[in-house]
């Protein structure tokens, strides 16, 4: 197939987009054109993928990115068998584009990969005036229902199904579990992997690091929002933590193995309550005990698989105590690492799901896949019935 993948919001080396979905497609021999903000992010396309540079949509500055995306879709869309969109903003470029494609007789299958609960995420957009958030949430919900009528949907979480009237395939956001056994967890290094913001607990992370220093070093990997960068940089200069900033996915993951613990200090926000933090599964996959706040899906994983400790929201002292407990109780630390790794291998490995994702897009392109069931062997994806139809819901 010829597949056009488009994002103006995500980093071009976003793990879900590039390292999972695009990798699964190129491994099948499909030709991928990847349109993303390469220049704005200072990266270049990976070999084997044709890259198209787009402006980045950030904060209130989104108009230029949407104009460029609309022009790209109008020009390159008819060349593709599948157009895979990764941002809700890109839905704004579709109405006129879909009509032009249909008139031309060359309309590709259009797919929206739903990464998050967009309406809930609006509550955390500090650049968005508070008075605009409620009406925009209503508008986003309406846009989602409209999109459901005109494009195919993939959902990153089963809980997202409640926002839609029909059942849609769930493509879980899982890492590839390394085949080689990881180093056992040590006693002097804690890791954090992922984007850094107030709502993701960046300031709690800094305070946790202060409480652990100098016996335990906190290593922070990921880009940060503007309003927390100074605090992270100052903590780095003071020797409280090591902040590496953004690292390519393979380099970032390589720093996990052997850590005493992996931190996930999300705040209690609507957008996080039904989303599984990918970092938690990445820690498990690399044999790193998890310390997490009570985000429901993260805490559920930790408690069910006995792979770490759960601490209260907004409590750096509790997070530091949990790390010290793992440090001073070798049996707890080693058991948590082993249990997390075993669970990731058994249930949470993208390598076991990637073929099902490629099967799904191939089936849609051929017109053979239904909207409610992903082809391919189970357990590729889980399909949850739409709310209110009386059907039972499979457990995660």
Separation CA 178–CA 348 (nearest Å):
12
Domains, the chain, in order of start with CATH, read: 2-175+352-366 (3.40.50.2000), 189-347 (3.40.50.2000)
Strand partners, 382: 170
* pLDDT computed for residue 34 by the predictor: 98
- For residues 176 and 163, the answer to whether their CB atoms sit within 8 Å is no
Contact 241, 224 (CB under 8 A): no
148: left (phi over 0), alpha (psi -120 to 50) or beta: alpha
Give the tokens for residue 202. 């960046």
pLDDT of residue 369: 60
Identify which of 1, 113, 23, 10 has the alpha carbon closest to the alpha carbon of residue 353. 23
CB contact set of 21 (below 8 Å; sequence gap of 6+): 5, 84, 113, 171, 357
Low-confidence ranges of the chain (pLDDT < 70): 117-142, 368-396
Q: Determine the pLDDT at residue 43.
A: 92
Instruction: Say what the pTM is.
Output: 0.85
The pLDDT score that the predictor gives to residue 160 is 86
pLDDT at position 79 = 93
Residue whose entry in the numeric block shows the structure tokens 């006693």: 187
Could you read off the pLDDT of 76-107 as tens digits, one per residue? 999 999 999 999 889 888 888 888 888 888 88
pLDDT at 396: 25
């Amino acid at each position: 197939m010829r597949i056009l993948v488009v994002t103006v919001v995500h980093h071009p080396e976003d793990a879900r987009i590039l390292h999972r979905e695009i990798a699964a497609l190129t491994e099948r021999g499909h030709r991928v054109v990847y349109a993303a903000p390469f220049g704005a992010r200072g990266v270049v396309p990976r070999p084997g993928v044709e890259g198209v540079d787009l402006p980045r949509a950030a904060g209130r500055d989104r108009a230029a990115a949407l104009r460029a995306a609309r022009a790209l879709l109008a020009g390159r869309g008819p060349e593709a068998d599948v157009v895979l969109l990764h941002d809700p903003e890109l839905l704004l470029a579709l109405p006129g584009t879909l009509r032009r494609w249909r008139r031309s007789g060359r309309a590709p299958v259009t797919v929206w990969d739903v990464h998050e609960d967009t309406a809930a995420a609006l509550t955390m957009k500090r650049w968005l005036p508070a008075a605009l958030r409620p009406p925009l949430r209503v508008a986003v919900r309406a846009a989602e229902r409209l999109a459901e009528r005109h494009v195919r949907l993939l959902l990153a979480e089963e809980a997202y199904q409640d926002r839609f009237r029909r059942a849609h395939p769930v493509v879980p956001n899982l890492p590839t579990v390394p085949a080689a056994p990881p180093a056992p967890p040590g006693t002097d290094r804690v890791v954090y992997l992922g984007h850094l913001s107030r709502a993701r607990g960046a300031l709690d992370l800094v305070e946790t690091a202060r409480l652990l220093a100098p016996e335990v070093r906190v290593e922070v990997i990921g880009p940060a929002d503007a309003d927390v960068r100074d605090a992270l940089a100052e903590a780095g200069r003071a020797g409280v933590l090591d902040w590496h900033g953004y690292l390519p996915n393979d380099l970032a993951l390589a720093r996990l193995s052997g850590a005493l613990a992996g931190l996930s200090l999300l705040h209690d926000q609507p957008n996080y309550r039904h989303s599984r933090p990918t970092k938690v599964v990445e820690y498990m996959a690399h044999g790193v005990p998890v310390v997490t706040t009570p985000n429901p899906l993260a805490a559920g994983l930790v408690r069910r698989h006995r792979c770490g400790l759960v601490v209260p929201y907004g409590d750096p002292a509790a997070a530091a105590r949990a790390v010290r407990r793992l440090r001073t109780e070798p049996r707890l630390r080693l058991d948590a690492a082993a249990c997390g790794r075993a669970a990731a291998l058994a249930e949470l490995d993208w390598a076991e799901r990637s073929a099902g994702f490629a099967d799904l897009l191939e089936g849609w392109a051929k017109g053979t896949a239904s909207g409610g069931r992903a082809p391919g062997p189970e357990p590729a994806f889980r399909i949850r019935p739409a709310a209110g139809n009386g059907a039972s819901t499979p457990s995660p």
